[in-house]
Structure 1
Amino acid sequence: MIQVPFSPSRAALLLDFDGTLVDIAPTPEAVRVPDGLTADLQRLRDMLDGALAIITGRPIAQIDHFLPGIPYAVAGEHGVAVRPAPDQDVRQRVLPLVPADWTAKSEELAVRYPGASIEHKKAGMVLHYRRVPEAESAFRELTSVWPVESHGFHLQDAQMAIELRPLGIDKGKALEELMAEPPFRGRLPLFAGDDVTDRDGVRAARQMGGEGWLIPDDFPDAATFRRWLHDLSEGRGWGA
């Protein structure tokens, strides 16, 4: 099992949500928070003097729904929105709007593939085809003709989805922003995720002297990662 090379007093834990803390579900709203996870996260937050954050592609409100009162800080939509502390307002980036015709054509295409869906965000959207893989080629054909960069966006592959994201926003930058704030400041970041979008977080954590891991490269699945988190919450697996 992976050993953290330093003690909890020097660490900050910043974690992805879907596919890392919870298993991937057919739709974003269908995820289930496993029994015992919130207790483990609360123990870790106490052990780390509060330095526990969630960095996710979801809006912050959804993390508040699934993990109410658990993380000290949350970065939502890959860092579009950041709440650095429970009692602070959300910092919201001023970002470009998705052209209305892109939204309309995406919705029209999803209707043709029952089970496909469009997830709308404040600064982008996600075209999901997990439940209907045959929609992938149609979604790719649609998005390939969009002049995304001239509108301030880029396209990012995700797990069984294509995400339209603002340029200059990623989980690595979100991690760096949170690490500049108390109680994270002065600690070494530990980041874990499972998707292409999490590689920026892994890279940023390592560049700051911490550690970063990906599922399935470093842990075979989310269940194994949760068992490792449980061990950490019980004081096992930490260095000096």
Structure 2
Amino acid sequence: MGPFHRPALFLDFDGTLVEIAERPDAIRVPEDLPKLLHRLAAALDGALAIVSGRPLGDLIHYLPVPLPLAGEHGAALRPVPEEPPLRPDLPQPPAAWRARADALVAEYPGTLLEPKAHGFVLHYRQAPEAGAPAHALMASLVAEDPAAFTLLEAHMAWEIRPRGPSKASAVRALMAAPPFAGRTPLFIGDDVTDEEGMRACRELGGQGWRLQEAFGTPAELRRWLARALNPHEVPPSLEVTP
């Protein structure tokens, strides 16, 4: 394949830029990753964004560089690093839902509940036997208000989130304004949660790549991104063959 001209680059975080960990707070961010992303964003005239399911606060903590960010699958958007994030008015799940999820976590040691502003995630990576009951519980909760909430599958986890925002909506919002507008979008992710963003990029005339198929591992992706900056500065296009 040929060069990917004037790209707008959208990158997932967990499992894509950094390796998946047993717990969300146990990830290891390579020391040089923030600097690499900062340099790459500058070379792309700012058209690089992190699009993640994590809260914006997590992304800012792990990547302390001025990048456009989309958190919580598009429910929180920071298109301009120097400006406050955009947060649409979204519903929050009832407290009783969280209590029922807490009860399941207490029943299955190793499971973990990750709270978010407008939902929560039930992780069972350290307790695989909890996968089926976790799915059953989360699906039953969403069934109580399917017009407002949806259930999202992730790496050995189930997430309840509001309907409406998605990684696709985040991509489309960013692509509608500088510095992304007029560029060809490329989304790289590793999970089913990234398929929406990939599909949006394809519909906008770009590409969506699964990490496992295009690179194999986050380390290989980081090496590919670093090579895009060699020998001295990023070229005006990215070679689409990793």
Read off the aligned partner of 1:66 and give its amino acid letter. Y
Partner of 1:126: 121
Displacement after TM superposition at 1:82 (Å)? 0.5
Partner of 2:109: 114
Deviations 1:81-119 (A, max 9, x none): 101101211110111111111100101110121211111
**Other-structure match for 2:188:** 192
In structure 1, runs of 5+ residues without a counterpart are none
Structure 1 residue 232 and structure 2 residue 225: aligned? no
The alignment's TM-score, normalised by the length of structure 1, stands at: 0.92
TM-score calculated relative to the size of structure 2: 0.91
Across the aligned residues of Structure 1 and Structure 2, the Cα RMSD in angstroms comes to 1.8
1:92–1:101 distance in 2 versus 1, CA, 3 Å: same
Corresponding position: 1:222 with 2:218? yes
1:6 aligns with 2:8: no
Shift of the 78–42 alpha-carbon distance from structure 1 to 2, 3 Å rule, reads same
Q: Which residue of 2 aligns with 1:56?
A: 52
In the TM superposition, what is the alpha-carbon distance from 1:151 to its structure 2 partner? 5.3
2:172 is matched with: 176
Amino acid at match of 2:127: V
Code of the aligned partner of 2:195:
R
The answer to whether the 8 A contact 2:16-2:221 is kept is yes
Q: How far 1:70 moved relative to its partner? A: 4.2
Rounded to whole Å, the distance in 2 between the matches of 1:4 and 1:61 is 37
CA distance in 2, matches of 1:109, 1:151: 24
Gapped runs of 5+ residues in structure 2? none
Structure 2 vs 1, CA of residues 200 and 150 (structure 1 numbering), >3 Å: closer, same or farther?
A: closer
Aligned match of 1:161:
157
Q: Offset of 1:153 from its aligned partner?
A: 0.5
Distance 2:206 2:31 in 1: 29
Percent identity between matched residues is 47
CA deviation vs aligned residue, 1:19-57 (integer Å, no higher than 9, x gap):
000000111111111132222212211110111111000
Kept after mapping to 1: 8 A contact 2:92/2:162: no
